Amino acid sequence: MTTAERSARVTTAEARNLPALLQSLHEKDFTGTVRISGSPGGTIHLRGGLIAAVETPGAPTATSALLTSGRIDDETWLAACAAQRDTDRLGGHLVAAGLIGAAELEVVCTAAVFDAAFAMAIGPPGGWTLDDPEPTLVAGAGVEPRRLTEETTRRITRLSGPWGAPGELARVRPVPVPDAGLRRGLSDRHRSVLATVNGRRTARDIAFTLGRGLYAVMLDLTRLEAQEFIRWETGGASESRPSTAPRVLPGGGAPDRPPTRTGPAGSAATAGPLPRRTPGGTAWPGRSPARESPRAGQDPVGEGDALPAETSGGHGDS
């Protein structure tokens, strides 16, 4: 075991939550991977203590954003991957080949880091484990953990509204108001979001469909709803349905099992009953009883906050 590995093990055992862990790893110039369990869970890639990339099933990656939007077509992408097999260096190859500008790639990758962090933060917190570095698309130096935490907190605050916490808004399946598409005064971006709203897609589904960030899509949805282009679906899908399948760490048990070091959220999770289906129950959390009486295991305001500093996180069993 190297000094860095021993150091990381001590760090992860001492950290009280994920922001504290990332800050501590930043101070140790840690290079490696932090795997987060839970729903949606994810992987945080650190290079020299800075967050180079974050991947989660809850939000499109930088690669997905580039390909889905058509910024780089599939064939060109595959050719680039074949020419540069080291994924960490793929970004440099894309720039050198003139497929994208260095600054633009940096924008795409940075946006994906913050968006993935937000997507993980609005889900129930899980545990974490440290691992060796894994190849991933990177551009630029990376993001300081403190900045990532502050921005994630800002985003959660921004999207907390009459509907409750952002995690509840993410489960809503909006429906278009009749003839909304015929109305004037809508930007092309909002019109593209409106075109994907069909009463079945969640914000995450729309984000993946458009290759856009989850937070950006959720912001656009709130603005469309405020202008009465869409309305929140009431009835239909169960409000307890997660938008992504829970991620289980290798060797771990149930994804939402309480962490070894149990925080307030973890304690509550053990006490809660199993979720029940509610036929015909309201899907819009702002009008559901869950707002007044949050489900056990969920924080009513900062629901599932893997990153915000005020939360307790997982455990450190690397």
Partner 1 sequence: MTTAVDASLARLLDSPGITGVALVDAVTGLTYGVAGDADEAGDGAECAEFMALIAERLGRAGAEGELESVITTSKRRHQVLLSVGRPAGDPLLLTAGMDRERTNLALATRSLGDRAAEVLA
Do 134 and 11 contact (CB within 8 A), yes or no?
no
Cα(31)–Cα(155) distance, integer angstroms: 27
φ, ψ of residue 56 to 5 degrees: the values are: -150, 150
Nearer to partner 1 by Cβ, of 28 and 191: the residue is: 191
CB of 64 to partner 1, least distance (A): 12
Smallest gap from Cβ 161 to partner 1, in A, equals 14
- What's the min distance (Å) between Cβ of 259 and partner 1? 30
DSSP-based three-state secondary structure for 316: strand
Least Å distance between CB 145 and partner 1?
A: 15
When the beta carbons of 133 and 211 are compared against partner 1, the nearer one is: 211
Task: Enter the DSSP assignment of 182.
Answer: G
Pairing of strands 128-131, 32-36: antiparallel
Can you give the three-state secondary structure of 2-60, one letter per residue? CHHHHHHHHHHHHCCCHHHHHHHHHHCCCCEEEEECECCCEEEEEECCEEEEEEECCEC
Residue 252 Cβ, how far from partner 1 at the closest point, in Å? 32
Q: For strand 175-176 and strand 230-231, is the pairing parallel, antiparallel, or unpaired?
A: antiparallel
Residues binding partner 1 (CB under 8 A) = 65-66, 69-71, 101-108, 110-111, 114-115, 139-141, 151, 154-155, 158, 184-189, 212-213, 215-216, 219-220, 223, 227
Nearer to partner 1, 130 or 139 (CB): 139
Radius of gyration of the chain (CA): 20
**Smaller CB distance to partner 1: residue 223 or 291?**
223
Q: Between 104 and 205, name the residue whose CB sits nearer to partner 1.
A: 104
**149 in Cβ contact with 308 (< 8 Å):** yes
Q: Are 224 and 176 in contact (CB under 8 A)?
A: no
The tokens describing 42, both together, are 């994810």
- Between residues 85 and 158, which has the closer beta carbon with respect to partner 1? 158
Q: How far is the CB of 3 from partner 1 (least distance, A)?
A: 25
Min CB(104)–partner 1 separation in Å: 4
Looking up tokens 């939402």, which residue turns up?
256
Least distance to partner 1 from the beta carbon of 102, Å?
4
Degrees (nearest 5) of the Cα angle 43, 46, 50? 130
